[in-house]
Amino acid sequence: MAKLGLIYLLAFTSMLFFNNLKAENPIVQTRYTADPAPLVYNNTFYVYTGHDEAVKPNGWFNMKEWRCYSSTDMSNWTDLGSPMNLKTFSWGNVDAWASQCVYRNGKFYWYTCVRLEKDRFGIGVGVSDKPEGPFTDGIGKPLITGDSYLDPTVYIDDDGQAYMYFGNGKLWYVKLNQDMISTSGSIVEISRAKASVDSYLEAPWLYKRNGLYYLIYAGKVPGKENIRYSTSSTPTGIWEYKGIIMHEEGDSWTNHPGIADYKGNSYFVYHNGALPGGGNGHRSVCVEQFKYNADGSIPLMKMTSTGSEQIGTLNPYIRHEAEEICWEDGITTETSSQVGVYVTSIDNGDYIKVKGVNFGKGAKMFQANVASGANGGKIEIRTDSLSGPLLGTCLVQNTGDWQKWVIQKCVLKKTRGIHDLYLVFKGGESKLFNFDYWKFK
């Protein structure tokens, strides 16, 4: 787990429990993440999230930035950093809450809600040429403002018309123009009397499958939220309630859904409080793989620690970022102007697990791009477990500065076939080194 403060000391037992499970949910362990929104683009599955930092003195969410993660196998996730934060929007500086990113016109549009005052929010639009950003304010002001204007979700229909749903307590929609940064017509409230959106609270997600529109959302139950859905023959209703997708589970009283298809499979993303120290204000994003029922209905799902199945295997003979992780213990990530996102806060005994590495006929050498302003340390290259076969040990020496990057190499015992890779860090009592990328030869 990432070093998120003294609260982790109190959660030591829970940490051991999760490590023994070798869990792949939550998909991010280096920090607390929330309000996931998937996007499939260019054969890659992206998840855009919020970031839960230390809770505020009043116990409320403390969120100052949005983050982005990606995967091509649904098991190993790459940290792409924070492409957008509250400073992106000059008109709002409190509560970087739920969001969704969509692609159109050769650009990426990231819709998010930012608190203006009390219960009044503005929905802003970040714009970028790349899915990983950086994003800039596409308007210079909120797209719309209003009380409880939270949790925007955007869907572009087959005829080119884009719709944005949003709202906490109430549900609204508005049409977007083709430029994606202006609205068309008035804001419409979905009347409970005219639509069966059962116990709607917040976090809508709109999409279409086989000509049927799906609206999934967080429903209100005493003290918590579950995930429900309704369907319609049109993008604006009338909506027919269909049932519960996920019951109120876990240590977080909120939940936030999203659904996307990728490489022939369907995936449901959500958040819970499963990481040590997690719960209200400290949430974690998870992914479940599922299949629609024959009639198009969505099955009931449970929160799991195993997550989705890996698609294919990982090729170790190309460059892989150190922050491409299935599971980890102890490390976190930061960003520099030299190398972008990298792994840091590496101490003795920390490790990174990479799932399903296909060594083929055999790897003979390992190389890592590292930097250390201290005494350095070692990277033990192991397979299948923390105490699994030791293929080799890569020595990391003092490079002269924490941002002076050097490639270190080591010869390996030849290994073949498909294995989980464990990079186990060893050294003294203080921070050992920073880690940018790795590659086998």
| Whole-number pLDDT of residue 21 | 35
| Regions of the chain where pLDDT drops below 70 | 1-23, 192-196
CB 324 within 8 A of CB 75: no
Q: How far is CA 387 from CA 190, 343, 357, 411, in A?
A: 57, 22, 17, 19
Helix (H) or strand (E) holding 62: none
Q: Using CA atoms of 206, 209, 214, 216 in order, give the dihedral in degrees to the nearest 10.
A: -70
Residues across the chain: 441
Give the pTM: 0.94
| Whole-number pLDDT of residue 192 | 60
Helix (H) or strand (E) holding 369: strand 363-372
Q: Is the dihedral of CA 31, 35, 39, 45 positive or negative?
A: positive
CB 217 within 8 A of CB 196: no
First to last CA, the chain: 29
| Whole-number pLDDT of residue 2 | 46
Locate the DSSP E strands across 130-249. 136-137, 144-147, 153-156, 162-166, 172-176, 183-189, 200-209, 212-221, 224-232, 240-246
| Whole-number pLDDT of residue 166 | 98
| Whole-number pLDDT of residue 359 | 97
Cα gap 305→273, rounded to integer Å: 12
Cα gap 8→4, rounded to integer Å: 7
| Whole-number pLDDT of residue 60 | 83
